[in-house]
A and B are shown apart, each in its own frame.
Chain A
Amino acid sequence: MNADEAAEALPRLALASLILPALAVTLLTFLWPLLRLAGYAFHEGAPGGAIGADWTLVTWAKVLGDGWHHRLVLNSLALAATVTALTLAAAYPLALAVHRSPPRWRNTLVIVFVSPLLLSAVVRSYGWLPILGDQGVVPGLLRSAGIEPPPLLFNGTGVVVGLVEILMPYAILSLLAGFGRVAGDLEDAAASLGAPPFTVFRRVILPLSAPGILLGGLLTFVLTVGSFVTPKLLGGGRVPLIATEIHDQAIVTLDWPVAAVLSLVTLLLFGVLLGAYGRVIRRVEEAIG
């Protein structure tokens, strides 16, 4: 009896039981806290971090009816769109260079480009202070070029710059994962058929790398919406976002029900986003064969 037959002989139930440990861990560490969170959302917060005993929709009405929270969501979406576009623009050429490099170089290059992940985002965010700060490197360079630098820190610009830098390794990795169809001989074929380099890029490389762009885009977008350390440090409290608001409500104001409602709204947002990504990626995969 070989292994396949052995597997078939096992009752389905016995096979299903093999996933029980993983299922148990997931339930305990992910689903249970999530349900608790959902529970908080249907209570009312009381002063001093207490949570009301009654089940109520008051918190939902309060949060959803408040224009401030609408602005937070729009801010987060706008920031995520900007950061995603800039991160992809910065990461794409690097990822393409890694993909096209000879195999013996490729691993080394991947390690080089991903190594920033070894440093915490907190440290890397602080690193931008002496670079973008008023007396920092970039304003200094601008001044010596005769340009009065605009404020680059403690506003949207600083947050965008910091997030782009922090998210680039993720973008490069996911772009590389989606570059499987981009092959050198296709570029050679297009060139031999008369396509100049930019046309090769537009007609062959770009369409074939679409799965990588989509994956990298999704990841960057989601990570931006969820980020709060970098916006706090580089935004200086002047860039209100949904993630920073959740943090403040949970840690500073101690209004857990409000934090829970905002979290669930964000979760819903991600669900919609994932669904859209699934539909688009399926059509793209079909289109590029």
Chain B
Amino acid sequence: MPPMPETLTLDRLEKRFGTAPPAVAALSLTVGAGEMLGLLGPSGCGKTTVLRMIAGLAAATSGRILVGGRDITRQPAHGRGMGLVFQNYALFPHMSAAANIAFGLQMRRLSARDIRDRTRRALDLVRLGPLAERRPKQLSGGQQQRVALARALVIEPNVLLLDEPLSNLDATLRADMLAEIRDLQRRLGITAVFVTHDQSEALAVCDRIAVLRGGRLEQVGTPREIHDRPASRFVAGFVGRVNQLPAHRAADGSLSVHGHALPGDSADGRAGTVQLLVRPHHIRLDAPATAVPDGDRLRVGGVLRDRIFLGDRTTLTVMVGPTPVSVEWQGSDPPAALAPGDPVALSWRRTDMSVFPEDDPP
């Protein structure tokens, strides 16, 4: 049986290279026991550096890393007992799949019998039993990925660290592998950190997501919190698709978008130019005549410019003044009578909208 999962705590972790701005700045995070935390951000945001510091492959400039309360910041990589899955798998080319998996067990000086049994079980866990003696280059990308996963899991790591593990797989394989990783991690109850630049991967498999930007923590929360209540324009734009509508906020908090007055949000925030952020699937589209007034919904008018049929949904582009707004229409066809050039009414629930000041950079 795997050992009890442990928490992973990063305490004001910092990494500097020379005099450049820190690659990772004062990062504090806790990953709960058995939790899968996503580290999400664009390339260069420092997420891989964070992972390498956790694994002991890069030294922290300052701050601490704790596993189950033990400070491991100064421990060398080979003493940390972390399971690491690399973007390119990093399988040993001169060893068979079974030998790759057995390597970590040999380092722990287990008996030959234990090593054989546990290697066999790990191979079965990732459904590679029949391919045990194949060399990495005789395996497909997905099979190599599963060997890498088994190699990291067989040592019963304190923490499983996954560095963009799916980026070298094609789209269909990626979805399967994503489900498999999630399933294994839940079944084994292992604490895990999943580094990715792909927001859909993070939303799909992580219990919580930490969004990094320029080495700083932008927001941490459940996928739904990150998606529905982004803390900044950056998070809103990075996680999921979002419309940005410039608007003016008056002193009483009321908003206006290209002449359409909207009842104000709670009158915090200053007056001035703001950005309204609404996700395409939160917007309802009606012909102006059929639009039913609804006190709960904010409403603006626009002109339909384009419609794209995508099978299970239709994406429509509506011009609100000079700003294109995309609207996602799920399920059946939107009103067929609506043709490009027709006036339409857009509406969304107040709670589905985020308002950010103009000076919050996207």
Contact = CB atoms under 8 A, between A and B. Distances in A.
A98 B336 CA distance: 67
B92 interface: yes
A194 to B, nearest CB: 3
Interface residues of A, number: 22
A192 B95 CA distance: 17
Contacts, number: 71
A47 interface: no
Interface residues of B, number: 30
B93 A192 contact: no
Given A289-B136, A289-B137, A191 B94 contact: no
B253 interface: no
A183 interface: yes
Interface in A165-217: 181, 183, 185-186, 188-197, 199, 203-204, 207-208
Which secondary structure characterizes the binding site on chain A? helix
A192 B57 contact: yes
Given A203-B103, A208-B94, A288-B93, A188 B108 contact: no
A189 B86 CA distance: 8
A287 interface: yes
B83 interface: yes
B84 interface: yes
Nearest to B88: A185
26 contacts: A181-B94, A186-B92, A188-B57, A188-B86, A189-B86, A189-B90, A189-B91, A190-B92, A190-B103, A191-B77, A192-B55, A192-B56, A192-B57, A192-B152, A193-B151, A193-B155, A194-B78, A194-B81, A194-B155, A195-B107, A197-B78, A204-B92, A208-B93, A208-B94, A288-B93, A289-B95
B104 interface: yes
Most buried by B among A191, A204, A207: A191
B264 to A, nearest CB: 54
A278 B155 CA distance: 39
B316 interface: no
B90 A183 contact: yes
B135 interface: yes
A196 B107 CA distance: 9
A287 B93 CA distance: 9
Contacts of A287: 94
Contacts of A188: 55, 57, 77, 84, 86, 90
B7 to A, nearest CB: 20
Interface in B149-165: 151-152, 155
B254 to A, nearest CB: 56
A196 B90 contact: no
B64 to A, nearest CB: 20
A192 B84 contact: yes
B24 interface: no
Pairs A-B, 3 closest by C-beta atoms: A194-B107, A193-B104, A288-B94
